[in-house]
Amino acid sequence: MLKFILRRIGVSALVLLGASFLMYMLVINSGDPLKDLRESNAQNREQLMAQRAELLRLDDSPLERYWDWLSGVLGCFTGNCDLGVTINGVQVLGLTQQAAASSLRLITLATLLAIVVGVALGILTAIRQYSGFDYTITFSAFLFFSLPVFWAATLLKEYAAIQYNNWIAVGQYAPWTIVIAAAVVGFVLQAVLGGSTRRRLVTAGSAFAFVAVVMFVFNALNWWREPTFGLAGVLVVSGAAGVLVTALVTGLRNRRVLYAALTTTVVGVVAYLAFAPLLVNQPSWLLLAGLFVLTLLVSAGIGAAWGGFSRRQAVLVTLVTGVITSLLVVGDILIANWASFLGLKSRPISTIGSQTPNFTGDFWERVLDMGTQIILPTVLLTLVSVATHSRYTRSSMLETLNQDYVRTARSKGLSEREVIVKHAFRNALIPITTIVAFDFAALIGGAVITEQVFGWKGMGALFQDGLNAVDPAPVMAFFLVTGVAAVLMNLVADLAYAALDPRIRR
């Protein structure tokens, strides 16, 4: 395996080297970097042109300029990283650090959401093939996949930002809105669960009544402007998540694993009570990272202690339950700070930028600000990727479900959960892993347009500004970050192949 990894890294390095040379040559020959100065009427125009020519080393040969850039990149391995300067004399390294942090945060979050949602929808549509739910998801997938990114972004800015900001000033649903929302939820739920006509009607009616009552209660409590979740909410939702994860991994008959998941939930809530003063009064990213690592360690310990003969599955279940519990804790704190955040920013969903300029809130209010800024571009990129993931997952699952070993598993009397999770899904993941790696690279390209529409100062803006000015340094910085990220994702995919299929390890 080590030899395989080293060989892949070597091949990837050669690919990046050749691609970087081609990209550099294309950029420096894409236009005239002195065009704006040639058209200038400034009295010192010649002097300015000479300064820029010296800054960009236009008198040197392209090979010398490329070698100079490559030497600066190789210096990153020795601590002397030099990515050059922009056409205005600004160090590209500093710009790249800021832009990469914004773009990778956006792309990583969109990728994770797309994988979870897309794979889940793909499995459900494969199990419910040719059902109303399958047709609905299939139609939606093709619709989202074919949507032009810039047009979908405009719709999101109008309805998910501008109209939402107008509505949140009051935070009350109109009666017709409650009726329509409840009807849509009831229709979707009965399509997902299926069954006889009577069962569908009961499902739709129950869902309609439940959603309508909840929305009326939220109106009465003014929940959307002054929301609460609380310790009880964290306990109930995380406990339900633990039961669900247990049902998927081992089944509810394995009591030791179920008890491990519930123990993780209780310990997480108790830890929330213990660390609440620190989280509320002295929060920091370092504290959150440390508590998250502690969560993983404690969760794994609980799984190992309870697991018995199912120790491996118990550790997996408790780790997932612990992560969900920690996310719910953070969500509860953010919900508690939503009212004060609205006091500082009455129109919370922004359409431009990655953060609000001169925002003066505390730590959690700044987290809310960053979250509301990232939500629209993340939703846009996720919708496009979910379409791809769901279709490939459905296709792969259907192919796997028709294999002989799946029929054999059913004939041996295994439960449908075991057949789907242990036999079909594991083998269906191999082609899906390939799509995830390629989709990450595609998301980077799509993020260039998304960042432009939402005014997100990330790698896309760096690339576009450099290309428009025929300035190779910012463009090559974009290539360096996104190219390395794409290569790493493909390497992770190769390692995932080996984990999923032991034959590949040989």
So what's the pLDDT on residue 445?
A: 64
The 3-class secondary structure across 222-281, one letter per residue, is: CCCCCCCCHHHHHHHHHHHHHHHHHHHHCCCCCHHHHHHHHHHHHHHHHHHHHHHHHHHH
289-323 tens-digit pLDDT: 999 999 999 999 999 999 888 899 999 999 999 99
Position 87, amino acid: I
Which residue matches tokens 């490329």? Answer: 66
Q: Provide the b/e sequence for 469-497 (b: ≥16 CB within 10 Å).
A: bbbbbbbbbbbbbbbebbbebbeebbbbb
Average pLDDT for 105-132: 86
229-285 tens-digit pLDDT: 989 999 999 999 999 999 988 888 889 999 999 999 999 999 999 999 999 888 999
The domain ranges of the chain are: 172-221, 228-345
63-91 tens-digit pLDDT: 999 999 999 888 887 778 888 888 888 88
CA distance 333 to 310: 35
Crossing angle, helix 311-336 and helix 363-401, to 10 degrees?
A: 140
**Does residue 503 surpass a pLDDT of 70?**
no
Work out the percent of the chain whose per-residue pLDDT is above 70.
98
CA distance 398 to 400: 5
Least Cα distance to 235 among 328, 300, 318 occurs for: 328
Residue 321 contacts residue 238 (beta carbons within 8 Å): yes
Judging by beta carbons within 10 Å of its beta carbon (0-12, 13-18, 19+), is residue 392 exposed, middle or buried? buried
Average pLDDT for 203-223: 93
Mean pLDDT of the chain: 87
Q: Provide the b/e sequence for 176-185 (b: ≥16 CB within 10 Å).
A: eebeebbeeb
CA distance 336 to 333: 5
In terms of average pLDDT, the best of 8-17, 337-346, 350-359, 442-451 is: 337-346
How many C-beta atoms surround the C-beta of residue 69 within 10 A?
23
Does the pTM surpass 0.85? The reply is no
Residue 123 contacts residue 373 (beta carbons within 8 Å): no
How many C-beta atoms surround the C-beta of residue 213 within 10 A?
12
* Residue with the larger pLDDT of the pair 365 and 104: 365
So what's the pLDDT on residue 133?
A: 80
CA distance 487 to 464: 22
How many helices (H) and strands (E) in the chain?
22, 0
